[in-house]
Amino acid sequence: MGEHSKTTFPQEILDRWTGSGLDLNALFSAGHLGERMSVTVVEASPERVVGTMPVEGNTQPYGLLHGGASAVLAETLGSVGAMLHGGPTRIAVGVDLNCTHHRGVRSGLVTGVATPVHRGRTSATYEIVITDEQDRRVCSARLTCVIREQATG
């Protein structure tokens, strides 16, 4: 299963979220879908989010990494970056995801790195580059999230 307990957060993020009453590791994990796909968020900050996913178990009928699996990894990493950018009182909701698949992968681990293209008050866009174990680009993705205040009960 995917693991979120190994995520490394910079001290400034830990300080910013202290006292929020939220479990930072759980909130910025891959979620239930990511867990089923064994996505692991390794490093997380508004400037850079890194995660991995095995190819095995995430393939299409031809034995290649499923494009939808790459999309799940990309949206997970970009969303984590946007949420961290928004801060503890705001949420980020993905509104546009674009993925271009460059090469097939049949085995091993893929790594995604999300970096910001735009971080504003009401939206954030991240570029996510997914590579194979030989550091060859497998997928280029772009995610835009709307950032809004959390609804209070």
Largest CA distance in the chain: 48
> What pLDDT, on a 0 to 100 scale, did the predictor assign at position 149?
93
User: Residue 130: which H helix or E strand, with range?
Assistant: strand 123-131
Residues involved in catalysis: 75
- Per-residue pLDDT tens over the stretch 97-148: 999 999 999 999 999 999 999 999 999 999 999 999 999 999 999 999 999 9
The C-alpha angle 41, 60, 69, rounded to 5 degrees, equals 20
Give the Cα separation of 111 and 13 in Å (integer).
Answer: 22
Percent of residues, the chain, with pLDDT higher than 70: 95
Whole-model pTM: value is 0.91
Q: HSE of 1 in the Cβ direction (CA atoms, 13 Å)?
A: 8
> What pLDDT, on a 0 to 100 scale, did the predictor assign at position 153?
60
- Per-residue pLDDT tens over the stretch 40-85: 999 999 999 999 999 999 999 999 999 999 999 999 999 999 999 9
Give the Cα separation of 75 and 98 in Å (integer).
Answer: 10
Q: How far apart are the first and last CA of the chain?
A: 32
> What pLDDT, on a 0 to 100 scale, did the predictor assign at position 22?
76
> What pLDDT, on a 0 to 100 scale, did the predictor assign at position 3?
42
